[in-house]
Amino acid sequence: MKLIAYIRVSSQNQVDHGDSLAGQEESINKWATNNGHTIIRKYIDAGSSAYNDNQRPQFNIMLREIDKQDFDCDGVIVYSLSRFSRSIISQAAALSILEKNKIRILSVVEPLPEDYMTYKLLLTIFGVINEMQSKQNSATVCDRLQGTADKGYFTGGTIPYGYESVHVTDESVFRKKLVINEEEAKVVRKIYELATKGNTGKGWGLKKITSYLNDNAILNRGDYWKTSTLHRILHNTIYYGERIYGRKRVERSGKINPPPTIVKSPEIISKETFDNVKRKLKSRDLKNNKDRSIRSNSLLTGIIKCGLCNANLVITTGKSGNYKYYTCGNKVRSSVNSCNCKNHPKDKLEEIVKKTLLDNILIESVIIKILNDLKIILRANDTDEKELRKLNLQLKSKQGILSDFYKKLLSNNIEFDETVKMFISSEQNKLNNLKNDIDRITCSKKITYKKFGINQIRSFIKSIRSLIISNNSELTKSFLISLGMEVKVYPKN
């Protein structure tokens, strides 16, 4: 048989040492040789979870290439089925792609029978067991990390700028603790100094500090600074000696999370400096609240984009504070040199957009054409929506039947015989067929509409034109957003 191999490790430690990857690959190669098979391709995900397919790029590429039939193969070989998937749902989705292309899954450590019904049954049982084991492992790891944090040790992840981790010994166990990286700490202190008093006694904003650092080649571990990175530094309590662990963890099992743990860390700045900067930033936020696109009443924020780099244009003010401009968001967040898009006077640009709407879109012939096109689309969507609801109900019912059956099966209440195998195979096929039918239907957003006559159309146009002419930016913006409108601005040439 022609086989493709999928190899995965979830631990970064395993990736760094290479043993698990090499060990799996060696076992797969030996198994294939001993059984007279040929490995034609290999896909390797290093440091990836089998519970979340979004974190397995090579796994997804493999499935796409199989589905596109980019090559001829008979099976996918893994070291163990837990390497293939630890989620019964993602396993079912992946297996449906393999089955559609007449490809079997094979395992080095878990021999699977040739008989199709027994093969499917064992895959399902192994899938349930692997998922339960994954969840148990996750809970155990979380408890251990919480214990590590409670003792004041570093639990892993990205090391905050200004620190580095060092190994320490705790009861013969190697742990990590954060210590100050003095070179980076100098930059952190400079950032807080600029936020407090700039170079003239008046504190700088995030954009100005970002430009200063980037223009002076003071980089963030080899990369350019962004305002979002500085925002995190200026709001992170670790810099005055309190690292918070467990604040973002989400518990999906219904259990109540333990309260966050405050871990003492070496301080780079004083709490007084931190609080002072926080007050200044909050004051600037309140003062510049209207500069934020999501909350802004400005007509085009959140709608208008830079034609050169596709970033959102945001509202900025001139040095005097008297004039407002639409400015490329990349120039605001990173550096004025990051994009060649010019600043556009706010009032002038908004008038151009409004005039375009009034002259080219909000006219009778255009609205009638849009309405007729919409009716054609929605007639087709209505049929699809009804079919989709029906299929989803059937899918939920089938999943419930199989779930209940698997619970009884795993509790040894049902004996394995041909009737059981045939039942599982039949229900699994029905389930796969339902999923394929649901995938086939495009779920469009349901839009309601009424039967408009010419008088209603004219009344609608008149109302919207009056709204735009009235200069009520907030209501006009709501209307433009409801249209899903997007405006792009390009240089004149």
**How is 340-402 classified by DSSP, letter by letter?**
-PPPEEHHHHHHHHHHHIIIIISSHHHHHHHHHHHHHHHHHHHHHHHHHHHHHHHHHHHHHHH
User: Do residues 299 and 481 touch, judged by C-beta distance below 8 A?
Assistant: no
Domain containing residue 201: 163-287
User: Do residues 133 and 82 touch, judged by C-beta distance below 8 A?
Assistant: yes
Q: Does 323 fall in a domain?
A: no
Which residue in 267, 361, 349 sits closest to 313, CA to CA? 349
Residue 265 and residue 244: Cα distance in Å, rounded?
A: 10
Give the pLDDT confidence of 158-178 residue by residue, as tens digits. 888 998 888 776 655 667 788
In the prediction, which pLDDT does 28 show? 92
User: Do residues 200 and 212 touch, judged by C-beta distance below 8 A?
Assistant: no
| Residues 7 and 117 both lie in one domain | yes
> Catalytic: which of 10, 211, 296, 334?
10
Residue 248 and residue 342: Cα distance in Å, rounded?
A: 39
The residue out of 287, 319, 346 marking a domain boundary is 287
User: Do residues 364 and 458 touch, judged by C-beta distance below 8 A?
Assistant: yes
| Residues 186 and 235 both lie in one domain | yes
| Residues 128 and 206 both lie in one domain | no
Q: Which amino acid makes up residue 71?
A: F
User: Do residues 104 and 98 touch, judged by C-beta distance below 8 A?
Assistant: yes
| Residues 136 and 249 both lie in one domain | no
User: CATH code at 132?
Assistant: 3.40.50.1390
In angstroms, the Cα distances linking 460 to 360, 363, 367, 446, 452 are 16, 10, 10, 21, 10
| Residues 267 and 175 both lie in one domain | yes
| Residues 12 and 138 both lie in one domain | yes
Which residue in 44, 23, 27, 31 sits closest to 1, CA to CA? 31
Residue 345 and residue 215: Cα distance in Å, rounded?
A: 26
| Residues 120 and 191 both lie in one domain | no
Q: Does 341 fall in a domain?
A: no
| Residues 98 and 193 both lie in one domain | no
Q: Does 307 fall in a domain?
A: no
Q: What are the tokens at 393?
A: 């109900």
| Residues 19 and 93 both lie in one domain | yes
The answer to whether residue 10 is catalytic is: yes
In the prediction, which pLDDT does 250 show? 46
| Residue 261 β-bridge partners | 245
Count other C-beta atoms under 10 Å from residue 50's C-beta: 24
Which residue in 65, 88, 89 sits closest to 76, CA to CA? 65
Q: What is the pTM of this model?
A: 0.38
Q: Does 89 fall in a domain?
A: yes
Count other C-beta atoms under 10 Å from residue 413's C-beta: 9
Q: Which residue reads 């900067």 in tokens?
A: 277
| Residue 170 β-bridge partners | 173
449: left (phi over 0), alpha (psi -120 to 50) or beta: beta
First to last CA, the chain: 60
Which positions of the chain have pLDDT values less than 70? 10-20, 47-55, 86-88, 126-156, 169-174, 245-261, 284-297, 377-386, 402-403, 405-425, 436-452, 493
Q: Does 148 fall in a domain?
A: no
| Residues 138 and 184 both lie in one domain | no
Q: Does 219 fall in a domain?
A: yes
In the prediction, which pLDDT does 405 show? 67
Residue 290: CB partners within 8 Å, gap ≥ 6?
Answer: 296, 297, 298, 315
Phi, psi of 218 (to 5 degrees): -95, 95
| Residues 56 and 134 both lie in one domain | yes
Burial class (CB in 10 A: 0-12, 13-18, 19+), 301: buried
Residue 166 and residue 153: Cα distance in Å, rounded?
A: 10
Q: Which amino acid makes up residue 482?
A: S
The residue out of 254, 287, 320 marking a domain boundary is 287
Residue 420: CB partners within 8 Å, gap ≥ 6?
Answer: 121, 409, 414
The residue out of 242, 257, 287 marking a domain boundary is 287
Q: Does 157 fall in a domain?
A: no
Could you give the residue ranges of the DSSP H alpha helices within 219-311? 227-235, 271-287
User: CATH code at 275?
Assistant: 3.90.1750.20
Kindly state the helix (H) or strand (E) to which residue 306 belongs, with its residue range.
Answer: strand 304-306
Report the domain count for the chain. Answer: 3
Residue 312 and residue 296: Cα distance in Å, rounded?
A: 13
Q: Does 245 fall in a domain?
A: yes
Which residue in 10, 4, 81 sits closest to 46, CA to CA? 10
In the prediction, which pLDDT does 255 show? 46
| Residues 138 and 264 both lie in one domain | no
